[in-house]
Structure 1
Amino acid sequence: MIELRNGEAQLGLLPALGGSVASWRLHGRDILAPTIDPSLAAQRGAAIAAYPLVPYSNRIGNARFSFDGETYCLNPNIGGENNAIHGNGWEREWSVAQHDSERAIFTLDHDPGKGDDPAQWPFAYRAVISYILERDRLRVEILLANRDTRPQPVGLGFHPFFARTEEMTLRFSARGVWENDASHLPKGLTPCTDDWDFSAGRPVRALSVDNCFAGWTDEAVLAAPDAGYRVRISADPVFSHLVVFTAPEKPFVAVEAVTNMNDAINHPEILERGLHLLAPGERLSGVVCYDVIEPRGQTR
């Protein structure tokens, strides 16, 4: 594990386990909740608090897609489903490019032409993730470069598990929400009204949600008045979708800034699906920031 420190903030990182975050603590409390997910075998039973999503977010239906006249089959990589999920970055060991007490930069090179499994992803790419720990902020920078000789369709995202409290609320605005079918794939876009309206903030304790919201306004707030803080999530406009995943029995709320809707690669008819087509040598990048705000003052 690599540990970053800045004042009373501590960040544990696991480059060998998907370039992931092991923990983020501030003033002696967990901002993120380290979580074991048995359905993600590549995490090897480790408790993970957050991890990058490259080269796409969420599911690809039946682990198959067609692109540029070819059909590709991927390895299903989530237990109990026939889908592929969250790309392959979380399944791989990342290299440590550099780190000091407050910053770490990891890289991942995937190249089927050099022996990497094409059933994880059939195109060559390089991913870079930078973690910058400030006294009351975690800044995450993600970049993906097409290192193939062909165009490739890609997306980005980041998957944090926020420690849930009894009085926690979630607030954000979005244009619509993708409701899911029995395979956890999108079946239709619904306006964010009634039970889907989070614009005024909603308690999360009894929520059961695993959905992707479209047209997210690039800011969300998790407020924990019983713990004396709130977390403001802000992201570059490239992260046009927000995935929310929580259930009453879970000790966390996952609020994921992502570029693409679920199964975007299989929905070319949707113009705003958030999938990006990179020509050889082109890059896609974005920044997500997590600010911890306490009643006694602002963070900056």
Structure 2
Amino acid sequence: MPTVTSDVNGDEGMQLPPSGEQYGIARGGSQAFITQVGATLRSYTVGGQDVLDGFGVGERATDGRGQVLAPWPNRLTDGRYQYGGRACQAPLNEVSRHDAIHGLVRWLDWTPVERDPATITLACALRPQPGYEWHLDLRVTYALEDRGLTVTFEAVNLDREPAPFGVGFHPYLTLGTPSIDGLELTIPASRVLAPNHSRRGPTPTATAGTLGDFRQPRTIGSVELDAAFGDLAVGPDGHAVARLSDPDSERSVELWVDSAYRYLMVYTGDQVGEPRRRRTAVAIEPMTCPPDAFRTGVDLIELEPRSPWQGSWGLRSVEAAKRQPTGRSS
């Protein structure tokens, strides 16, 4: 029986890697590593093949790789918003766009609270601060199952008043090809949210007939994507499923979301920091709300005091003979 392992054990005199302790889980031919810093999904392999384009144990996460994005995902224009009579200003950590991106927990240490060979749960206390004035208890569980990897996120508001909330994740999907241009992509979405240059939040438009229409499998080619997709089609199990497929090897990887995640941010990696990694993987990011939700209120979760919230998403490596339809419109 495989056991939960750590790449580096943190004994006195040993230096931890940039992402802290490394927590390994395994089941059958699948293995994943999650890091102490940010509860980040650093790697996930099935049958020895990478499902994620992650990062090495001696590196830190770059370009959001595998990170947890809370208490808001994606961009918050000017880092400024109002909620419950409070005016908040978050640090601008994407200076070129003058925004606050991907929340406040991806560089914090998370603590393992439950572990077995195939599952780990990590917790983080998000304390009130200038950019976010509420106290949240956050937990994320990574579980390897027969069907693949399932990620469950839980949030509890420990304050006496409602708190604004959103969460996302940032996995880069790979099929081991040097380029994504020849891969087929399926995004089960009938709307795409284009940036609104008036700074009022993204504008939803229909995907039908546009370069962003991937409701049916389509070769990526030279298309560049960095947009949020909504109005997701779901199957009988209530899940919406995105898929990246390689026609040559007949390998596929699927990312599914439950009803808590109403948006998928899709990024073809054209501007990642390392030029050699550009357009070698596709980030398909589950999000509960669109960009700028703290400013617009669109699909913003309002966490009531002591009332728990939960949502799940997952990954599975799929052989050609086992591929399933992406779903039907809800």
Match of 1:175 in 2: 190
2:319 aligned partner: 294
Contact 1:177–1:189 (CA under 8 A) maintained in structure 2: yes
Q: Report the residue type matching 1:104 in the other structure.
A: I
More divergent stretch after superposition (184-193 vs 1-10): 184-193
* Match status 1:227 vs 2:249: yes
- TM-score by length of structure 2 reads 0.79
Answer whether contact 2:190 2:215 (CA < 8 A) is retained. Answer: no
CA contact (8 A) 1:59 1:85 kept: yes
Asked if structure 2 preserves the Cα contact closer than 8 Å seen for 1:136 and 1:293, the reply is no
**CA distance in 1: counterparts of 2:121 and 2:283, whole angstroms:** 23
Which residue, 125, 131, 134 being the options, matches 2:136?
125
Deviations, residues 239-295 of structure 1 (Å, cap 9, x unaligned): 111111114533210111111010011113xxxx22111111122211102121113
Q: Which residue identity is paired with 2:309?
A: L
Q: Secondary structure at the match of 1:149?
A: coil
- 2:289 alignment counterpart: 260
Task: Specify the structure having the higher radius of gyration (Cα).
Answer: 2
Partners of 2:288 and 2:61 lie apart in 1 by 27
- Aligned residue in 1 for 2:258: 236
- Cα distance in 2 for partners of 1:205, 1:264 equals 31
Corresponding residue for residue 299 of structure 2: 274
Distance 1:298 1:202, change over 3 A: closer
- Of Structure 1 and Structure 2, the greater strand share is in 1
Q: Cα deviations across residues 5-48 of structure 1 (Å, max 9, x unaligned)?
A: 11211101102x20001111112211100159xxxxxx984467
Q: Report the count of equivalent residues.
A: 283
1:185 positional shift:
7.6
Calculate the aligned-residue CA RMSD, in Å: 2.4
* Alignment gaps of 5+ in structure 1: 37-42, 113-117
Q: Which residue of 2 aligns with 1:284?
A: 309
Counterpart of 1:19 in structure 2 is 39
- When residues 52 and 60 of structure 1 are mapped into structure 2, their CA distance, relative to the original with a 3 A threshold, is same
| Native 8 Å contact 2:119 2:142 kept in 1 | yes
Does the CA contact (< 8 Å) of 1:32 and 1:49 recur in 2? no
| Preserved contact between residue 39 and residue 110 of structure 2 (Cα < 8 Å) | yes
Residue aligning to 1:39 = none
> CA distance change for structure 1 residues 184 and 3 in 2, over 3 Å: closer, same or farther?
farther
| CA distance in 1: counterparts of 2:23 and 2:261, whole angstroms | 27
The amino acid of 2:151's aligned partner reads V
> Aligned equivalents of 1:187 and 1:2: distance in 2?
37
Conserved? CA contact 1:132–1:140, under 8 Å: yes
CA separation of 1:247/1:20 partners in 2, compared to 1, >3 Å: closer, same or farther? Answer: closer
Structure 2 unaligned spans of 5+ = 1-21, 234-239, 271-277, 325-330
Q: 2:165 aligns with which of 127, 133, 154?
A: 154
Deviations 1:83-142 (A, max 9, x none): 111111212110011222200100001122xxxxx1352210011100001355010001
**Deviation of 1:227 (Å):** 3.4
Distance 1:219 1:196 in 2: 16
Give the Cα separation in 1 of the matches to 2:248 and 2:95. 35
Q: Aligned to 1:2, which of 6, 12, 23?
A: 23
What SS class does the counterpart of residue 232 from structure 2 fall into?
Answer: coil
Q: Secondary structure at the match of 2:68?
A: strand
Partner amino acid, structure 2, of 1:226: D
Counterparts of 1:184 and 1:90 in 2: how far apart (Å)?
A: 25
Match of 2:220 in 1: 204
TM superposition shift of 1:183: 9.6
Q: Distance in 2 between matches of 1:66 and 1:298?
A: 45
For 2:197 and 2:44, locate their aligned partners in 1 and report how far apart those are by CA, in whole Å: 34
Contact 2:80/2:88, CA 8 A, preserved across alignment = yes
Q: Which of 50, 53, 62 matches 1:33?
A: 53
Rounded Cα–Cα distance in structure 2 between residues aligned with 1:238 and 1:177: 18
Q: Does 1:144 align with 2:155?
A: yes
Query: 2: distance between equivalents of 1:124 and 1:109?
Result: 7
Seen in structure 2, the aligned counterparts of structure 1 residues 142 and 183 have a Cα distance that, compared at 3 Å, is farther
Task: Tell me how far 1:2 sits from its aligned partner.
Answer: 1.1
Measure the CA separation in 1 of the matches of 2:24 and 2:68. 18
